[in-house]
């Protein structure tokens, strides 16, 4: 009876489809979760310093969100100073596009396709559904509970902001978000065929990488297969709903005029799974298949199973002993054996530790 009660309590109605799904979070909790993570991600990845562009993205996003099933969420749309081809959504209406993806789009209608897709993830509560399923399976948000003192100031970044950022959707989620994105585009009279162009662009970026790093958007938004054909099929089946013709190419290109393209190598950069920092004169090989990001405060990698994390960051301490002591003295950490050694001739300290989290001891 107890297990049945928990299951019933965990079921809720999907606002976008009317279907029942698992959700352990109230709408106010969903909004607060997104708000907290938004502060962390904005501070860590950095916002692109172009107020006019930011206002343009916010305005377009609000128009599309007003056509959704959840128009009253505190919708917030941001441009990240990140060269990767990516866009993602947090619970509660926080949506991000990178300057990297903006440089590959060719019209406002294409942008509407990307943003509408992310709005679809929020209206259908895909993130909170995935998180609820994980918690019910006792997986929780264990990865990343332990942070460096430098990154900890941003409020448990790896366990919330980055966890949400790297949260992978299912193929069914992607198909549903595509359908919802098309719905919102159609309601605002955008040319729905422009979403097909976005998928073609992502395929092109992936192929041009020569089998290397795929676009970040595809790494967290798995391709359900025949995606372009599926979108074209949806348009053909309901031509009246997707009869819009608005593209606004010139308007879009005017707003991204002067946008920085590519990575700034002096801030470090990735080539496939290898991170290079020319100014600091070091490189680091992350394991193949890990999701990585180069943030303002450091570099983070998360394993495919989200059960391990690697962080690289600078410290203001004068010695490795001081830096290690600061890390191992954090609240909730029980330090174990520590060892001194050398890596490529440089001194290092490694150690074992346990950390007490809301999910137990790790």
Nearest to 115 by CA among 82, 67, 81, 160: 67
pLDDT in tens, 278-298: 888 889 999 999 999 887 778
Query: HSE (CB half, 13 Å, CA atoms) of 21?
Result: 20
Q: What is the DSSP letter of 245?
A: -
Q: pTM higher than 0.85 for the full model?
A: no
Residue 309 maps to a domain:
no
SS3 assignment for 73-118: CCCEEEEECCCCCCEEEECCCEEEEEHHHHCCCCCHHHHHHHHHHH
Q: What is the pLDDT of residue 228?
A: 85
When divided into structural domains, the chain yields a total of: 2
197 plus 74 within the same structural domain: yes
Task: Show which of 255, 287, 307 is a domain's final residue.
Answer: 255
Confidence of residue 328 (pLDDT cuts 50, 70, 90): confident
pLDDT tens track for 192-230: 999 999 999 988 887 776 544 445 555 556 565 578 888
In a shared domain, residues 240 and 163: yes
Which positions are annotated as active-site residues? Answer: 118, 178
**Among the listed ranges 125-134, 206-215, 342-351, which one has the minimum average pLDDT value?**
206-215
Q: Is 312 left (phi over 0), alpha (psi -120 to 50) or beta?
A: beta
Res 6 pLDDT > 80: no
Of 9-18, 94-103, 244-253, the poorest mean pLDDT is in: 9-18
**Quick one: 17 and 101 in the same domain?**
yes
Do 9 and 84 lie in one domain? The reply is yes
Q: Could you tell me if residue 285 is inside a domain? A: no
Taking a C-beta distance cutoff of 8 angstroms, is the pair 142, 124 a contact?
no
pLDDT-above-70 percentage for the chain: 78
Residue for token pair 């305005």: 59
On the question of pLDDT at 140 being above 90, the answer is no
Phi/psi at 306 (5° precision): 55, 40
Among 136, 157, 160, smallest CA distance to 148 is for: 157
Parent domain of 106: 2-255
β-pairing, 346-357 vs 282-285, is unpaired
Among 220, 215, 183, smallest CA distance to 199 is for 215
76 pLDDT band, cuts 50/70/90, is very high
């Amino acid at each position: 009876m107890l297990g049945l009660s928990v299951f019933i309590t965990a079921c809720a109605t999907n606002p976008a489809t009317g279907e029942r799904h698992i959700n352990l979070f109230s709408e106010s909790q969903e909004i607060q979760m997104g708000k907290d993570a938004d502060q962390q991600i904005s501070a860590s990845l950095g916002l692109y310093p172009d107020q006019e562009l930011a206002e343009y993205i916010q305005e377009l996003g609000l128009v599309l969100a007003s056509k959704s099933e959840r128009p009253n969420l505190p919708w917030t749309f941001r441009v990240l100073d990140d060269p990767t081809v990516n866009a993602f959504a947090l619970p509660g209406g926080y949506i991000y596009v990178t300057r990297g993806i903006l440089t590959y789009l060719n019209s406002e209608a294409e942008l509407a396709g990307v943003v509408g897709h992310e709005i679809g993830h929020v209206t259908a509560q895909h993130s909170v559904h995935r998180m609820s399923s994980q918690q019910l399976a006792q997986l929780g948000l264990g990865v990343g509970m332990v942070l460096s003192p430098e990154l900890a100031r941003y409020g448990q970044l790896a366990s919330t902001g980055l966890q949400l950022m790297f949260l992978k959707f299912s193929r069914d989620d992607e198909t549903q978000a595509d359908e919802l994105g098309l719905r919102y585009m159609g309601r605002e009279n955008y040319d729905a065929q422009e979403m097909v162009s976005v998928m073609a662009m992502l395929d092109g970026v992936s192929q041009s990488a020569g089998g290397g790093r795929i676009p970040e958007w595809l790494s967290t938004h798995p391709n359900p297969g025949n995606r372009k054909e599926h979108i074209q099929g949806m348009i053909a089946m309901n031509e009246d709903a997707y009869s819009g013709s608005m593209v606004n190419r010139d308007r879009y290109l005017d707003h991204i005029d002067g946008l920085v393209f590519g990575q700034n190598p002096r801030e470090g950069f990735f080539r496939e799974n290898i991170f290079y920092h020319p100014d600091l004169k070091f490189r680091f090989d992350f394991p193949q298949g890990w999701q990585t990001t180069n943030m303002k405060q450091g570099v983070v990698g998360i394993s495919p199973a989200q059960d391990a994390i690697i962080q690289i960051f600078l410290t203001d301490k004068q010695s490795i002993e001081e830096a290690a002591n600061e890390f191992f003295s954090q609240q909730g950490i029980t330090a174990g054996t520590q060892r001194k050694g050398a890596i490529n001739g440089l001194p290092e300290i490694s150690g074992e530790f346990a950390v007490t989290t809301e999910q137990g001891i790790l």
